[in-house]
Chain A
Amino acid sequence: MRKRPAGVRPADYAPPFGPSDVVSAPTDPATERIEVGVLIVGGGPGGLACAIRLGQLLEEHPEVAEKLGDVPVAVLEKGKQPGSHLLSGAVVNPRALRRLFAGRLHMEQLPTYGPVHHESVYLLTRNSAFRIPPPPTMRNRGNWVMSVSQLGRFLAEQAEAGGATILPETAAERLLVEHGRVVGVRTGDKGRGRDGAALANFEPGGDIVAKVTVLAEGTQGHLTTAAIDHFGLQGTNPQVWALGVKEIWKVPRPLGRVVHTMGWPLRKSARYGEFGGSFVYPMGKEMVSLGFVVGLEYRDVELSVHDLLQEFKVHPKIQRILAGGERVGWGAKTITEGGFLSLPSRFNAPGLLLVGEGAGLVNVPRLKGIHYAVESGMLAAEAIVRSLQPGETPTRAGALDTYDRALQQSYLWADLREVRNMRQVFDRGFYVGGALASAMTVSKGRLPPQDFPNEPNASAPLLRSGRAASYPPADGRYTFDKLSSVFASGNRTRDDQPSHLRVRRQVPRDVAEMWSWMCPARVYEVGEADGDDTVTVHLTPSNCVQCGAISAKGGRLTPPEGGSGPEYTLA
């Protein structure tokens, strides 16, 4: 064991919160519950692919459709509409979308910015860029550039055409469990004031009960994490996340290729725990999307992914792309990064299925997850239909195990297994990690043979190194502050609602300052000293774009009133 460095650990200041805050039995009388057939939580690629595939299968199996009642498939979405809260690079492997629409639609009929033809990877220093051959995992020929929020809106239309009911502006707040079986979810109240009292427009949430509940919540799933705890489904390693901040730019000259960078402005020494990089993707001839992603095991109190993105944009290499352009969008989201060894031990419980990123199905070395979300959503739909055949019922223990088997037999399982250690070795720094990762690539994951552990993000002890000194000031043209960025995300959340963020309000100064730098939406501000080395933390929850970073770094994001948060359109 290496020696543990000193420093405050955010994990030691976690707020009181547990699965019992999220998991409970239904409370509405049986006659007032809303009954649906299959309930899907989350209108992203995973949930919507599940809904679309269910629509296809129910058409082939009318006897199963009959069992599911008047609303056979319902999708809950907390954003204003599907896509509102979706944010990704995104260069998408089209494999799963092709299977979803086989014989129905071509990739050309989906909202895309076309296939990738050219790509380059650079190792950056402050003033220079060295082009390096793309590592095999980062080759993107044959993949397609997309906006995942546009894809979400498109998939929602397809799902509705296939008979699914989409319920936007509806947060899934509790997982309803009765006699060890998942029976649905409870939706969140709307119209409560800051102190929790009902306002004039108060609408209480309600119990929605279903034969099967599919959790497709994406990163930091509110119910997914609680379900994993409640049913004891933890994987070998704890789950870890990265935070990505991205912008959409209108540019005068087309980019014409996919660009990835490593190195600057991140530091390569293992001491800082800064793993990440950037992407710049062309969106047609007139726009580019660019973003910066950093693993949340970082240690520096003053690390701010938003400000690193601003710093990255003033690099001469990037300035050449953006010069004369204009920012038209901004957003932030965490990415689930634990990989194979952090996958849950099972992907189902009686009446419950876990799909997509919420279940950890993300390939970090390849920077891909959308096709796994789509594929797992489809496999979930297929397992659901099998569990509704005569003589079977989805709430019988084991009835949904065919989903786990299908995942294990699918290409995504082999993909993820091969790169299972690649993320962890970068805790040894950029060069050692890079060398080990190469060995894994060459050996297709057979070397080294053992499994490498990792630590929860919030366990990384904090340090200070004056990191913020290099962040550029906001000039309002190429570099922006956090508040104007929150504005560009389309966030216009009602201010007078109860706080949806669970954090301790009195914490050591290092923890409070770390949150204030970390949060890309300026939710946390360091308040007055509180004696004994602690300070008060002030919150502006209505700024929150629900990226989820706080849940990885010692707090807990819960869903605010449905319809709150950003309104991503091109992200």
Chain B
Amino acid sequence: MAPTLVFLEHHEGELQKGSLGVLAKAASLGGEVAGVVLGASEDVAATGGAGSVYLCDDPALAAPLPQPRVDALEALVAQTGAETVLFAASVLASDVAAGLAARLGAGLNWDLTDLRVENGELVGTRPALGDTVVADVTWRGTPRLGLVRSGAFEAAESGGRAHVVAFSATFQDFSSLARLVERTQEVSAGPSIEEAEVIVAGGRGLGRAENFSLCEALAKELGGAVAATRAVVDAGWYPYAAQVGQTGKSVSPRLYIACGISGAIQHKVGMQGSGTIVAINRDANAPIFDFADFGVVGDVEQVVPKLTELVRARRS
């Protein structure tokens, strides 16, 4: 039977959590599932779970550019007869998925938040109308392409090494027209909010920009990252890169500590995939307490430093 392919994105020698989550989900649906790693070493590819991983390490794939990846995936779909290709949404994966859809004339469902098999058919779930309703989506034909919302699925723990199958592809002339000129990275102290296991987020209830240091201290103790709401990013208290919510990033850490955040739906949709949600807010009627697992009604200026102290004491 033709395998379901999952595009595994890598960054600095590490496969990305989001795409491993999609791989885990795909494996849970039954049938043969294989990862696809492009432009990395065999050692990196081997960390892609315990099943098989297709690897193409052609130099054309060295830079993280979409078009050569479309060529490689097109070749692999042709070689394996794969009927489904899944992606975890990222800037690169979205470009590749769109390009592959155009190349294969295939249907692409995007922004998927869940996948299931019903009567032998793959069915995706997609929020619509601004997340107010959830729609089931299917594909009219094959190959089916699916782009999964970032952070939708958790990666499975896997001790094993993947069985790596090398494949080769031919690259179109136009695929080499874009060149990678330079890579720079925004310097930040901790892990990025998309990858962090723990997030301490601050909102307008912090009172002033300086109080973000309270969140930073707690995040440091927990080995986590600091996130912010739209309102405080707007006010210039924290950089846009840390914004969580509808118009910022979607995150799914194991622990999300919301400090002085009221919990407007625009924020909720960016963090509702978090494992455990802890809210600290002075206003007992704040909507965040409706969906937090634990809540503290109190002043963040008092509660957060105490919490930081407790964590520090417990750790030492």
Contact = CB atoms under 8 A, between A and B. Distances in A.
Interface of A: 328-329, 476, 483-484, 486-496, 540, 542, 567, 569
Given A495-B230, A495-B233, A496-B240, 12 more contacts: A483-B264, A484-B265, A487-B264, A487-B265, A487-B266, A490-B129, A491-B130, A493-B247, A494-B247, A495-B243, A540-B231, A542-B247
A495 B247 contact: yes
8 pairs of A and B residues whose beta carbons are closest in the complex:
A490-B130, A483-B264, A487-B265, A484-B265, A495-B247, A492-B246, A487-B266, A492-B247
Contacts of B243: 495
B240 A495 contact: yes
A312 B16 CA distance: 51
B246 A487 contact: yes
B28 to A, nearest CB: 31
Interface in B254-277: 264-266, 269
B99 to A, nearest CB: 17
Contacts of A491: 130
Contacts of B246: 487, 492
B132 interface: yes
A493 to B, nearest CB: 7
Contact of B130 (A483, A487, A496, A540): A487
Contact of A484 (B230, B247, B264): B264
A56 to B, nearest CB: 33
B240 A329 contact: no
B130 A495 contact: no
Contact of A483 (B129, B132, B133, B265): B265
Contacts of A476: 287
B293 interface: no
B164 to A, nearest CB: 35
B247 to A, nearest CB: 5
A487 B265 CA distance: 7
Nearest to A496: B240
Contacts of A486: 266
Contacts of B240: 495-496
Contacts of A496: 240
Contacts, number: 47
Contacts of A492: 130, 246-247
Contact of B132 (A488, A494, A542): A488
A329 B133 CA distance: 10
A19 B233 CA distance: 34
23 contacts: A328-B129, A328-B132, A328-B133, A329-B129, A476-B287, A483-B266, A487-B131, A487-B246, A487-B264, A487-B265, A487-B266, A488-B129, A488-B130, A490-B130, A493-B247, A495-B230, A495-B233, A495-B234, A495-B240, A540-B230, A540-B231, A540-B234, A542-B230
Contacts of B233: 495
Contacts of B266: 483, 486-487
Contacts of A489: 130
Nearest to A483: B264
A532 B257 CA distance: 41
Contacts of A567: 130
B238 to A, nearest CB: 13
A494 B247 CA distance: 6
Q: Which of B130, B230, B240, B265 has the most chain A CB atoms inside 10 A of its CB? A: B130
Interface in B195-253: 230-231, 233-234, 240, 243, 246-248
A484 B130 CA distance: 11
B220 to A, nearest CB: 27
Interface string B117-139: 00000000000011111000000
Contacts of A483: 264-266
Nearest to B285: A473
B135 to A, nearest CB: 12
A542 B266 CA distance: 12
Nearest to B264: A483
B230 to A, nearest CB: 6
